[in-house]
Amino acid sequence: MVGSLRPLFAVLLAAGAALGDPETPVHVDGAPPSKIAVVGAGIGGSATAHFLRQHFGPEVQVDVFEKGEVGGRLATVTVNHNDYESGGSIIHSLNLHMQEFVKQLGLKYRRSVAGKMAVFNGEEMILEETDWYLLDLFRLWWRYGISFIRLQMWVEEIMEKFMRIYKYQAHGYAFSSVEELLDSLGGSGFINMTRRPLSDSLLELGVSQRFIDEVIAPVMRINYGQNVSIPAFVGAVSLSGAQNNLWSVEGGNKLVCSGLLKMANANLLQAQVDSIALVQSADSPQYELSFTTAAGTRSELYDIVVLATPLQAGISSGIQFHGFTPPFDERPGNYHSTVATIVHGYLNTSFFGFPDPRLFPYASILTTELPDLFFNSVASICPVNISTGYRRKQPQEAGVYKVFSQGPLDKSQLKSLFRSYYSVQVTEWQAYPHYGSSQGLPPVELHPNLYYLNGIEWAGSAMEMSSVAAKNIALLAYHRWSRQMDMVDQKDLMHRIKTEL
Ligand SMILES: Cc1cc2nc3c(=O)[nH]c(=O)nc-3n(C[C@H](O)[C@H](O)[C@H](O)COP(=O)(O)OP(=O)(O)OC[C@H]3O[C@@H](n4cnc5c(N)ncnc54)[C@H](O)[C@@H]3O)c2cc1C
Ligand SMILES: *[C@@H]1O[C@H](CO)[C@@H](O)[C@H](O)[C@H]1NC(C)=O
Ligand SMILES: *[C@@H]1O[C@H](CO)[C@@H](O)[C@H](O)[C@H]1NC(C)=O
Ligand SMILES: *[C@@H]1O[C@H](CO)[C@@H](O)[C@H](O)[C@H]1NC(C)=O
Ligand SMILES: *[C@@H]1O[C@H](CO)[C@@H](O)[C@H](O)[C@H]1NC(C)=O
């Protein structure tokens, strides 16, 4: 996501989370499940395996299926002997699950290397960071009046409410749907925010149209490749990521996924799951997964299955469902294509109105909504391993840049953005939901003991959202299995947790 809009939204938030509180003890009646399957080894599936192990204990077998690379949308590409994030890159300091994973796995934070940001409107830079924080504040005030203060307060309030999830989860509470989860955090206001456009919410707050066009739209373009018509909730998630205190994982964010799988002692199967068939038995259903490995096709029975990959048609998990009534297959809706082009070369600073690259002071360039512009953002990027003496390359030197665009860039487009280049690497992502047509939030429980993680992306797509969903599903699966109904969809949790302490 966006490198940093530090001075724009520098806001200090109170971290009131209670991670690591003891679990509410629960009595398990009936036998434990013997086998659990997780489909997908991105951050969602890996975190699910980890939390399932925490809640179900050491005995249960946890099989994790991955048809591609562990990490999924967390991935790196190698340029000139260094690795760079090509998918999900930025983690917020208040993303407490991600933080906890990194701590438990003994991984390191990758410090961010200072670099200035600017917004380009197709002709000139309309907004620039300076070295002087007060000057930036003054300029924002001058240009946008009260808008950015209103925005800060709005984002802060949403973040504060969102952070209640860590307390609820630490106390063992689970939710049977994304709506229930959001409702417990922010009431109907949060659910409504998943249904109305960001621009409407902001205009209602009194944020000016100019501020929306010149600041909000560029942030939505770099973070979600979409415009200010995306729902207000995901917009707020993405604006919180435009604050300070951003970090990533030394060595690559995907190390969290492989680390969690190892820590969970999960059994990783390099296999594509082809189908899931419902097998009715005496009291609870079982699921037969058929899957293809390099060695051929096999199938296995599971008591609990978690699908940790999008089930939209366009993205093609390729999973068929058999024996379910009513039948279900794909979820409605599409994923948005975002192309990450990583270029090793010389930026054409003339393109931005700076014929002399030595006078070009920016590391990240965001853009306003322009019909003819062929890219969403360009940023000088740093490798996933940064040595102590590391400094960012100057624009007159060859450097590594990441361009986000909606479609692949052609030669002439590359030639207009770069004076010359040594290498170009293209990753075409089905990156995040294509927000828009409101089809509602997908279910978490598809069938008894069959769970779907990625519905949460329709509220907001980010590593932390997948991690929150992972913890929720592990808790939900556990409570359903042990028939602890009083731990699911409970109302007035803020109050209950206070009295429990
Ligand atoms: C370009 C880009 C930039 C982003 N920037 C950020 C950012 O800065 N910060 C942030 O927090 N988030 C960011 N995100 C979003 C973030 O990367 C995702 O929300 C998150 O990684 C999703 O993880 P997941 O595990 O839920 O899904 P995925 O990572 O998609 O994992 C699903 C896995 O399931 C596997 N799979 C699918 N079908 C099958 C099958 N049939 N059998 C076996 N395996 C299967 C897939 O191969 C995949 O590995 C970005 C995403 C992209 C693409
Ligand atoms: C959310 O929308 C519903 C239905 O439109 C409405 O009744 C409710 O008051 C709204 N909630 C908030 C907090 O705006
Ligand atoms: C945003 O994009 C969608 C198409 O993805 C379009 O329908 C909508 O009108 C656009 N909204 C704005 C404010 O540009
Ligand atoms: C990069 O960082 C990771 C994690 O700290 C480490 O395991 C790896 O060896 C490092 N690689 C290089 C080339 O320094
Ligand atoms: C760089 O950008 C300028 C201005 O858009 C353009 O005229 C020129 O052709 C571009 N390419 C190179 C290699 O300078």
Q: What is the mean pLDDT of each run of 10 residues along the chain (501 residues)?
A: 37 27 41 93 98 96 98 97 96 93 96 86 87 66 76 92 96 98 97 95 93 92 95 91 78 98 98 95 86 96 97 80 82 91 98 96 94 94 90 93 98 97 98 84 95 97 97 98 95 88 59
CATH of 35-72+252-334+436-500, one of 3.40.190.10, 3.10.180.10, 3.50.50.60, 3.90.420.10: 3.50.50.60
Please state the pTM of the whole predicted model.
0.93
Task: Fill in the DSSP letter of residue 143.
Answer: H
CB atoms within 10 A of CB 353: 11
Asked whether 345 and 435 are in contact (CB, 8 A), the reply is no
Question: What's the pLDDT at 13?
Answer: 25
**Residue 255 backbone dihedrals phi, psi, to 5 degrees:** -60, -25
Ligand nearest to the CA of 413: 5
Asked whether 199 and 228 are in contact (CB, 8 A), the reply is yes
Task: Measure 242 CA to ligand 2 centroid, in angstroms.
Answer: 28
SS3 405: strand
Q: Which of 192, 193, 194, 201 to mutate to test the pocket of ligand 2 (most atoms within 8 A of CB)?
A: 192
Task: Measure 350 CA to ligand 5 centroid, in angstroms.
Answer: 6
Beta bridge partners of 3: none
Q: Across 294-398, where does the E strand assignment appear?
A: 296-302, 304-307, 320-322, 335-347, 362-367, 377-380
Task: Measure 193 CA to ligand 2 centroid, in angstroms.
Answer: 10
Q: Which amino acid is at 383?
A: P
Ligand 1: does its nearest atom lie under 6 Å from the Cβ of 434?
A: no
Residue pointed to by tokens 């109907």: 188
Which tokens in the block code for residue 137? Answer: 């504040």
Task: Measure 68 CA to ligand 4 centroid, in angstroms.
Answer: 22
Asked whether 121 and 128 are in contact (CB, 8 A), the reply is no
Task: Measure 310 CA to ligand 1 centroid, in angstroms.
Answer: 9
Q: Which of 14, 42, 431, 444 is nearest to 268 (CA)?
A: 42
CATH topology agreement for domains 35-72+252-334+436-500 and 106-167+187-250+335-431: no
Per-residue pLDDT of 349-391, as tens digits, reads: 999 999 999 999 999 999 999 988 999 999 999 999 988 888 8
Residue 165's Cα: distance from chain center in Å? 16
Measured N-to-C along each axis, helices 43-56 and 96-104 cross at an angle, to the nearest 10 degrees, of 70
Ligand nearest to the CA of 186: 2
The alpha carbon dihedral of 69, 54, 492, 158 has a sign of negative
- The binding-site residues of ligand 5, defined as CB within 6 angstroms of any ligand atom, are 348, 350-351, 416, 419
Q: Which atom of ligand 2 is nearest to the CA of 191?
A: 1
CATH topology of domain 106-167+187-250+335-431: Polyamine Oxidase; Chain A, domain 2 (3.90.660)
The alpha carbon dihedral of 146, 149, 151, 157 has a sign of negative
Parse the chain into domains and list their residue ranges.
Answer: 35-72+252-334+436-500, 106-167+187-250+335-431
Which tokens in the block code for residue 381? Answer: 């990027």
Q: What is the spatial distance between Cα 456 and Cα 450, in angstroms, rounded to a whole number?
A: 16
Q: Which of 250, 262, 388 to mutate to test the pocket of ligand 4 (most atoms within 8 A of CB)?
A: 250
Widest distance between CA atoms in the chain: 76
Residue pointed to by tokens 């200035």: 116
Beta bridge partners of 445: 451
Which 3-state string (H, E, C) describes 196-217?
CEHHHHHHHHCCCHHHHHHHHH
Ligand 1: does its nearest atom lie under 6 Å from the Cβ of 44?
A: yes
Task: Measure 250 CA to ligand 4 centroid, in angstroms.
Answer: 7
Q: What is the spatial distance between Cα 193 and Cα 182, in angstroms, rounded to a whole number?
A: 10
Enumerate residues 6+ apart whose C-beta is below 8 A from 198: 216, 220, 228, 229, 230, 231, 232, 234, 235, 236
Q: What is the spatial distance between Cα 170 and Cα 164, in angstroms, rounded to a whole number?
A: 10
Question: What's the pLDDT at 9?
Answer: 36
Q: What is the spatial distance between Cα 45 and Cα 43, in angstroms, rounded to a whole number?
A: 6
Ligand 4: does its nearest atom lie under 6 Å from the Cβ of 108?
A: yes
Looking at every residue in the chain, the average pLDDT score rounds to 89
Q: Which atom of ligand 4 is nearest to the CA of 384?
A: 1
Ligand nearest to the CA of 189: 2
Task: Measure 454 CA to ligand 2 centroid, in angstroms.
Answer: 25
Ligand 3: does its nearest atom lie under 6 Å from the Cβ of 227?
A: yes
Ligand 2: does its nearest atom lie under 6 Å from the Cβ of 192?
A: yes
